[in-house]
Amino acid sequence: MQRVGVFGWGIVAPRSPNIEAFYKNLESFSSWLSPFNGFGPDNFMVGMPDFCFSDYSAWIDNRFPPKRFPQMVKKMDFPTLYAIGAFIQSLSQNPGIEHELQSLGTQAHVYIGTGVGNLATIHQATLDLQKAQNTWNAFWGDSTRNSALQAYLSLQPEEQKSVKGIPPNPGDIPRSERDEAEKTRLELWTNNSVELQEYLRELAEIESLGIEGKIEANKLNVIREKQRRKARLKAKWGAPDPPWEKVSANLIWNISNTPATQVSMLGKITGFSFAPVAACSTFGVTLKLAIDTIRRGEAKAVVIGATDPPPQPILVAAFYKARILAANGQVSKPLTSLLGTHVSGGSVVWIVGDHEYMTAKGYRPLGLEPLAVGVSSDADHIITPSKEGPATAIRQALELAKVKPGEVEAWDLHATATPGDFPEIETLREIMRDTILVTARKGTFGHGMSAGGGWELTAQYLGYEKGTVFPTPLKEDELNREIAGIHNNFIYDTACKTPQGIAGKLSMGIGGINACVISRPWT
């Protein structure tokens, strides 16, 4: 079986702006979570990334024109910026690997996924659009400039009642419903505005200006002429900006594949790039795709990763409504009282390569050797994990790696501090021996929707490289009694020496997507 290795890695995580800080923080058993207060005062704890994109300005300025860095700051949302930072870090463990990725041409790929995408950009665009739409409707739906409304208001009360489709007067309904009623009223009269239709006809004539002659030379002239005419039209009517003028184009510069494509552009990597999206199993899935691609001979190296935005109020609220988020102002630790998880943001990027090819070039493999990734779908419930789906992924990974369950000595759980922790332990014990050493790290850095599994896997790999299993915030007397009844060999708040055998890592994503990674120490 063709061997694959990890030849670079980078991290953006809570309290960890880079891989060096991540490693140092892992040596402590304390949690990296902090109060959210995204709703004003609240009871949520989150993993807020420690990150400053300006740390990477010199790297970018050394390779691109001066306008590139400020352009990225202006246009890119945090998931992309985090991924770029983690990618630049990943080039530092093996000097020269940046040029290797470039020289490989189409034999170097980029697979970087995201969990919930560019929430900040979407949220702001939604707010901007709604504000502009309200202003627009208030202008065109006002009786002083809407002849249809003027005609209606000139009718006698009895005649007004006979006109169908007119919403009730906001003053005639309960106060709690008046805002929505006023919004509906303005929408109605805006849609029936004769004046707006005339405005739109004039605007359509301006938008009909086409490019004649040489396209490149004349396109800017056409754009400028349109802008001049639009400004005159706006002044003529005294109208506000149309709502379609108020949404930033950043919305389309930050779609799901943007982190992958930006890394390919900054790294000048010309091979295939795309964004695998598999919720909490995203990083494991990217690793599987990379291993399979390399073993098929389609690539010699693949940049893989996962990236998530910083905690946003809409995401925290959604997790809370799904009844999987802790909300008591304290760190909720896996395997304890099972109060729920904590939302986190950040990124993880690895450079995975053909072991024989990369080592022949002088590059050193890191951490552990990834042997196989098993994947499965529960095909059952959107958020509650089954036992069969994860078990299938585990058994598939073992079979692909040619590893027997008795050879596995260390295991990292998905464990989200929810009731799903118990069946996850049950599933593990049905397959593995009772002496297996188990870790659960979401009490440390929280739950990055896509990056969390990559943080956990990196912690496992770093631990083996350093010869130690890093501690967790879990204390022995906090272990849930029912869980303790079926397994009791966990890493608590004290580190220990790494076992000699095989290591495993399970991730379970929303929608029932499972990914199990089997790895071994380098020989």
User: Between 281 and 214, where is the model more confident?
Assistant: 281
Average confidence (pLDDT) over 86-92? 98
Contacts of 164 (CB under 8 A, 6+ apart): none
- Tell me the average pLDDT across 276-300: 98
Report the pLDDT averaged over residues 228-248.
96
State the pLDDT at residue 179.
85
Q: Structure pTM?
A: 0.95
| Predicted pLDDT at 222 | 83
- For residue 78 the two structure tokens come to 């945090």
What pLDDT is attached to residue 383?
A: 85
CA 486, 431, 415, 490 torsion-angle sign: positive
pLDDT in tens, 117-140: 999 999 999 999 999 999 999 999
Residue 211 clears pLDDT 80, i.e. is over it:
no
Residue 128: the pLDDT is 97
What are the tokens at 159? Answer: 């005649």
Q: What is the pLDDT of residue 339?
A: 96
Mean pLDDT of 62-87: 97
pLDDT bucket at 213, cuts 50 / 70 / 90? low
How many C-beta neighbours within 10 Å does residue 478 have? 14
Catalogue all structural domains in the chain, each as residue range(s) with its CATH number.
4-118+254-521 (3.40.47.10), 123-245 (no CATH)
Asked whether the beta carbons of 31 and 101 are under 8 A apart, the reply is no
Q: What is the pLDDT of residues 155-186, one digit of tens each?
A: 998 888 888 888 877 777 888 888 888 899 99
- CA–CA separation, 74 and 250 (whole Å): 9
What is the arithmetic mean of pLDDT over 6-31? Answer: 98
Tell me the C-alpha distance between 99 and 111, whole Å.
Answer: 18
pLDDT of residue 484: 96
Position 203 scores a pLDDT of: 96
Q: What pLDDT was estimated at residue 215?
A: 67
